[in-house]
Amino acid sequence: MKREKTHISIRDIARTMRLPPMTVSRAIRGGPVEAALKKRICAKAAAMGYRKGVFSSFKRPLKNPATVVFALQRTIGIEISNDYYFYTPVYFTAARLLTARGYQCVLTDIIDEPSLMNVSSGDIFVFSEKLPAFAVPFLSSGSLRRSALVLQGENPMGTSFKPDLDAMARMAVHYLVERGHRHVAVYSPLGNTVLGRRADAFCQACRKKDAVVDVIDADSGMKDKSAIELFAKSTKNMPTAIFTTGGFFTMQAYGFLMRNGYRIPDRIGLLGFDNFGFYEHLEVPLSRLYADLDAFGSMLAESIIASSGAPMRKKETIIVPVRFEDKGSVLPVDKMRINEVNV
């Protein structure tokens, strides 16, 4: 007997409008989509009866199905767009696998205790940035089925996930040193725990290769001048390549360098760690390291399945694999025109 749909999914809307599911998702979630197209998508979603926050198109009948709550924490962390470009694809992959096993999956914002109480019937909670202090008493009480997982940051109550920073640093430094870059820089907000750790890993890998590394603290910028601009105007010896630890800072560095005579890749190299796929569409496509989001989503689903129906799991960290994509934004030093820079 054919099962009836209980909810309209983003894929249903995308199929009807003949658009990519990610475009529909970005429009509905408030991501970067052209205004007229976003209006058409939202109107179609409303007409089809789409309910924001519900992933599953089918609910497989189970005797006691678990409900997984995927939480976005938009007020936590520097990059608001991380919710769309990083966490949401991970959530969608995990939700697709989980609904096939009979789980009910919900996406929502959890930024305070009232928003948590709106989904208090959930059994498993996945937080994007860190485990909020207000959630600990709730998760510690009641049903033993409740458990929490954290995609980045520490989780004192269970499982957390982290990109393989050692592999990221080794790949980045090997790529740079192999091209003759012995004096490089890392651009990162050192006050941000997640991004600061990426910078530390990069610096350690540089030291192992005897490469000189300048640390540019993105938090040291002024209201009208970014930290990288202040650094470029104060140093007498610019590095030949810059590594950035997050998408916002990659774009900040890219914009300043291209506007001020440091043309990429002829006069300086730029390499970033992030999951912003649109970098390949810039005037100068950027090479990048990134977490494998498909693998991330699969690992998340497996961990959720393992934690279902069990008490709080012991504290553990799952390492997410990192990939490299070379778009040619770092040339070998002997092919660059470093001395032609004019700022």
Tell me: do 173 and 282 sit in the same domain: yes
Q: What is the pLDDT of residue 14?
A: 84
What are the Cα distances from residue 173, in Å, to 111, 179, 264?
Answer: 37, 10, 18
Tell me: do 218 and 333 sit in the same domain: yes
What are the Cα distances from residue 138, in Å, to 69, 71, 88, 204?
Answer: 14, 15, 24, 40
3-state helix, strand, coil in the chain (%, to 5): 40, 20, 40
Tell me: do 43 and 150 sit in the same domain: no
Tell me: do 211 and 298 sit in the same domain: no
Measured distance CA(155)–CA(315) in Å, rounded = 7
Question: What's the pTM?
Answer: 0.72
Tell me: do 270 and 189 sit in the same domain: yes
Give the total number of structural domains in the chain.
3
More confident residue, 50 or 170: 170
Tell me: do 215 and 180 sit in the same domain: yes
How long is the chain? 343
Q: State pLDDT tens for residues 126-183.
A: 888 778 888 888 887 755 557 888 887 778 777 888 889 999 999 999 999 999 999 9
* pLDDT, the chain, mean: 81
Q: Which residues are CB-contacts of 231 (< 8 A; sequence separation ≥ 6)?
A: 185, 214, 216
Burial tier of 34 (Cβ tally within 10 Å: 0-12, 13-18, 19+): exposed
Tell me: do 107 and 173 sit in the same domain: no
More confident residue, 315 or 295: 295
Determine the average pLDDT of the residues in 282-304. 89
Tell me: do 63 and 16 sit in the same domain: no
Tell me: do 229 and 183 sit in the same domain: yes
Q: What is the pLDDT of residue 342?
A: 43
Question: Highest-confidence range of 17-21, 32-36, 137-141, 286-290, by mean pLDDT?
Answer: 286-290
Give the start-end residues of each E strand in the chain. Answer: 67-72, 104-109, 124-127, 147-150, 159-163, 183-188, 212-217, 241-244, 269-273, 287-291, 316-320, 322-325
Tell me: do 336 and 208 sit in the same domain: yes
Residue 282 contacts residue 266 (beta carbons within 8 Å): no
pLDDT higher than 60, residue 340 = no
- For residue 180, which phi and psi values (nearest 5 degrees)? 85, 10
- Which residue in 277, 287, 252, 244 sits closest to 89, CA to CA? 277
Determine the average pLDDT of the residues in 271-277. 82
Confidence of residue 193 (pLDDT cuts 50, 70, 90): confident
pLDDT higher than 60, residue 55 = no
Measured distance CA(125)–CA(294) in Å, rounded = 20
Tell me: do 97 and 137 sit in the same domain: yes
β-strands 322-325, 287-291 pairing: antiparallel
Q: What is the pLDDT of residue 58?
A: 36
The domain in which residue 171 lies consists of 165-291+325-340
Tell me: do 218 and 73 sit in the same domain: no
| CATH number of the domain bearing residue 329 | 3.40.50.2300
Tokens 């409740």 belong to which residue? 146
Q: State pLDDT tens for residues 211-244.
A: 999 999 999 988 788 999 999 999 989 999 999 9
